[in-house]
A and B are shown apart, each in its own frame.
Chain A
């Protein structure tokens, strides 16, 4: 137990040191969602208001609506980026240092994911702090209550990233697959527009978006921000995380 704790501490320290050191990574992680919020949402704020729908109790402006989607965006990008870093470590050989520690591979990968999810959560809340400075109306208590849900989706997305890194060989391939995953996940979901609006345009795209796990991750955050918890999707996410946590160590090849 103590040995595992010190290993976890070492992995966290390394991940945080990377996070602090790679200022451009932090900057790009913030610029991307803020661009959506401060440019795109500002442009559409007056035309794309969202009629009353759960969890909102009143008409919602577009900048408020896309906040959960932007949190998802931060977690998605960081999850993929941390998996890219793992793919890089594997190619550079430094993954071997981790994999030859006298701790089970499952535990080591979970520690890496916890570290990645912590970094994602911090980035998401930095983005939220900037959004508040720009007068986006969000419930402060709700933002605090949502921390565990944001952490859970950050963990789930890091896990999906790790699954990709486990099955895709080579850095170049992984970078390509990342784009292939990120953009459909983002655009075929409820992160940037409500699904009923999508349904009006295309029934097929609506159903693809309903089946997209990213939609449910974003919706969990949306409800949590307004102190509402839809248990079924949350349970589904937890079950998915448990299932993937079992599969990933089996398919992860430290030596590939």
Chain B
């Protein structure tokens, strides 16, 4: 079932962050949300995470239309935020168990899901280690695993590849695309880095809080030209 966002608007004082933003996120699809800094990408993710209240607009989640994200709606989403958010002093496994507990998973389901994400994202060898001893890419994989533990319908990624080296970024991209295909998850991927995207991915380019372009990513040259045209107007 798709996630629909309709006419979403948000302001910080007089500054417009989102202006009548509407789009649909389909299952098994990676949708790239591209936009220059300040375009409203992080604001959108924070509203969907319930960290910011929705000032105007509505959502359609699992066939139900609503004006704000309720706590129970959060069970449908998995989030990976721009700033790494692992407890550096606890092992990868403890971090996963904590998140699974917060989502109300009982101990046996917890074990089963942790095993599942560990196999899916090749995390087994990382679980005993503390995040501070892991590379940026490894930490991100644990964060993605954590976001999947409760089997969300939609995975929302806010620039997850920032600060990663090329190999880690490409591995991350490959993992995300496989996840969308194999698990039927709809992925919203906020990014600045176009080479992580595939031609068949859906594309939304936002600027000043509005959708300026929607379609398929297509090849890199066309994608970059389209993006640059919009980004130049943003400045």
Binding site for B on A (CB under 8 A): 2-4, 6-7, 9-11, 13-14, 17-18, 21, 92-94, 96-105, 254-255
Residues of B within 8 A of A96 (CB): 49, 51, 79, 81, 85
B215 at the interface (CB under 8 A from A): no
Residues of A within 8 A of B150 (CB): 102
Residues of A within 8 A of B94 (CB): 14, 17
Q: Is the CB of B79 within 8 A of A10?
A: no
Residue A93 contacts which of B74, B81, B103 (CB distance < 8 angstroms)?
A: B81
Q: Is the CB of B106 within 8 A of A6?
A: yes
Q: Is the CB of A100 within 8 A of B51?
A: yes
Sampled A-B contacts (18; CB under 8 Å): A6-B101, A6-B102, A6-B104, A10-B97, A10-B99, A14-B90, A14-B94, A18-B89, A92-B85, A93-B85, A96-B79, A96-B81, A97-B98, A97-B146, A98-B102, A99-B49, A100-B50, A105-B71
Q: Say whether chain A's binding surface is mostly helix, strand, loop, or mixed.
A: helix
Residues of A within 8 A of B52 (CB): 255
Query: Closest chain A residue to B100 by CB distance?
Result: A10
Residues of B within 8 A of A17 (CB): 90, 94
Residues of A within 8 A of B77 (CB): 100
Residues of B within 8 A of A102 (CB): 71-75, 103-104, 150
Query: Closest chain A residue to B107 by CB distance?
Result: A6
Q: How far is the CB of A235 from chain B (nearest CB, A)?
A: 32
Q: Is the CB of A100 within 8 A of B72?
A: no
Q: Is the CB of B83 within 8 A of A93?
A: yes
Cα A7 to Cα B72 in complex, Å, equals 13
Cα A96 to Cα B46 in complex, Å, equals 10
Residues of A within 8 A of B104 (CB): 2-4, 6-7, 102-103
Residues of A within 8 A of B84 (CB): 93
* The 3 nearest A-B residue pairs measured at CB: A10-B101, A3-B104, A101-B102
